[in-house]
Amino acid sequence: MRPRRSVLYMPGANARAQQKATQLDCDGLIFDLEDAVAPAAKASARTNIVHSLTTTDYGRRERIVRVNGLDTPWGAADVAALDGVALDAVLFPKIESAAMVDAAAAALAGLQPGKTADAKGQQVRPQLWLMIESPRSILALEAIAEALLRANASCEVSGALVMGTSDLVQELRAQHVTNREPLLFALSRAVTVARAHGLDILDGVHLDFRNLDTFRTSCEQGRALGFDGRSLIHPGQVELANAIYGFSDAVVEHAKAVLRVWNEAKAQGLGVVELDGQLIENLHALEAQRVLAMSVAIGSQAIESDRD
């Protein structure tokens, strides 16, 4: 299990920010060649990102590059520049159909693996990740998810979906409101499809990045909806995202208690048991196992971060 509580966008044109990212406690970094880069700066941003990924040790942080779409003047060159570069995933924007997923997968198939190694120590090609950021994306989600699973069939993990909520609000002709009510259908549908296909899914960015109160509210909402983590646009959001999408000591201790009483109940041939006035069933034990496994993964990352 790989924690993805906080995944921070790194503008491709900002080489200094890419170097400073080694000091950030985020779970992942998205080196961005798309929205964060002006057309005139695309080529230099591409050079910056390749240089950063080939010369900088980002430790346990997941490394993702968001390329431009293959239907733009820059997309094919973005992908080609990643040949032999060590990274974990390539994120394609504005995916609206299974055919677009297949085209992205075909583009990645020609890449030679970099120094990224899987659990067996073998070099691997990057995973395919997808942006979901339009009404067409939302309507085609099941076909998109199935195509993504096919594309990542050789990977140890199934890839991830990333919500592009800013574009989605614009295309819906909706409004950015604190409770995100206009997006609830799209967000819930996206999480449902992701879970049905065993995919991780990240919530979209919070544009009012200096307002940590509204950021906290939207993170708590995203966590309640079932998102695995949050895509971020400012380092100041990392700590709060880690806290909300992580697990407190109290949650971990409760999970341990659930497993303890559940195992005792199974030993007695019981199908349910009570803990602190609540009934515990198999589904609660499964969730407790997931919480404990993820908390161990987060703890392992914290140890690696201290070594960095």
pLDDT digits (tens, 9 = 90+) for 189-244: 999 999 999 999 999 999 999 999 999 999 999 999 999 999 999 999 999 999 99
Q: What is the pLDDT of residues 77-105, one digit of tens each?
A: 999 999 999 999 999 999 999 999 999 99
Question: Rounded mean pLDDT of the chain?
Answer: 92
- Give 87's contacts (C-beta < 8 A, 6+ positions apart): 53, 63, 64, 65, 114, 116, 126
Task: For the chain, give percent helix, strand, coil, nearest 5.
Answer: 50, 15, 35
Position 118 confidence tier, pLDDT thresholds 50, 70, 90: very low
State the Cα–Cα distance between residues 173 and 35, nearest whole angstrom: 19
Helices (H), the chain: 15-20, 42-55, 75-81, 98-109, 135-139, 141-151, 165-172, 184-196, 212-225, 238-245, 249-267, 282-307
Position 54 confidence tier, pLDDT thresholds 50, 70, 90: very high
Given a contact cutoff of 8 angstroms between Cβ atoms, the answer to whether 285 and 262 are in contact is yes
What is the distance between the terminal CA atoms of the chain, rounded to a whole angstrom?
A: 21
Domain ranges of the chain: 6-245, 249-307
Mean pLDDT of 129-150: 98
Predicted pLDDT at 28:
97
Predicted pLDDT at 270:
86
CATH topology of domain 6-245: TIM Barrel (3.20.20)
> Does the pLDDT at position 153 exceed 60?
yes
- Give 244's contacts (C-beta < 8 A, 6+ positions apart): 5, 216, 219, 220, 223, 230
Given a contact cutoff of 8 angstroms between Cβ atoms, the answer to whether 28 and 61 are in contact is yes
Predicted pLDDT at 117:
43
Position 271 confidence tier, pLDDT thresholds 50, 70, 90: confident
> Does the pLDDT at position 119 exceed 50?
no
Q: What is the pLDDT of residues 157-188, one digit of tens each?
A: 778 999 999 999 999 999 999 999 999 999 99
Mean pLDDT of 19-25: 94
Given a contact cutoff of 8 angstroms between Cβ atoms, the answer to whether 37 and 45 are in contact is yes
